[in-house]
Amino acid sequence: MRRMGSWRRAFLIKVVPSGGRSRPLSQACGLFLLMVCSLWGGLAGCSLPEGDQSSPTQLHYKWVKVRAAGDIEQMWQLLHPDIRNEFERWLTAERLLLNEIKTAYPKEDAAAALEAIGGSARGELESPKALFKLFVRPSPEPPGTLGEVSAHVRSEDIAADGMTATIRTYGGDEVSFKKGSDGNWYTTLASDEAVRLSNARNRAEQNLKRVKSNLQKLGRNQP
């Protein structure tokens, strides 16, 4: 899922008004929609719907609101179960790794081992949701009127199998969603975030294998 690091990311195409000064197409679309909203019912008509999980478009609106509010609880619930499972795997590896170092590693080497894995904070977290909170980047600033206009959905494309979808906003964002086995729609991660999560989980699992191997060589645990 491509997150909205900017509420008004520009397209490559430019619109040149009569004054000769170029303006990003996404901003021009947003301003046009703002004028339409104002004509329909004032600025209140430009605000985003509350949203739900019944469709990709509605989920997009809900996600924009909960992320801008920094509501980790709702953000976690809106993540696709496959992604939540990745955080669970990551946390499991971190906990096992921390336990091996604290209970089986030679005391004179434990501090260095903890430093090598980046400390004990992750392994001491109480839940995968807490790890997600540590992982997720700060939410964007509240979008404001023009930002909310730009976040309105311009198009929605659902794949032939009905399980994935992409929406495009007037601000130029493309956002992907995935349907769950319960029939609800869920958010996915942007490609860079997915890679970051995969790397973090793999790193924890590899560190766990190294620690177990070291302990095996020292005769501190069973193969």
Q: What is the Cα–Cα distance from 16 to 25, expressed in whole angstroms?
A: 9
pLDDT at 23: 42
pLDDT at 17: 37
Sign of CA dihedral 146, 147, 148, 151: positive
Q: Which residues on adjacent β-strands are paired with residue 168?
A: 155, 174
Burial class, 136, CB count within 10 angstroms (exposed 0-12 / middle 13-18 / buried 19+): middle
pLDDT at 84: 97
Q: Are 57 and 73 a contacting pair, CB within 8 Å?
A: no
Sign of CA dihedral 58, 59, 64, 66: positive
Express each pLDDT in 37-94 by its tens digit: 554 444 445 678 899 999 999 999 999 999 888 899 999 999 999 999 999 999 999 9
Residues in the chain with pLDDT < 70?
A: 1-46, 138-147, 220-223
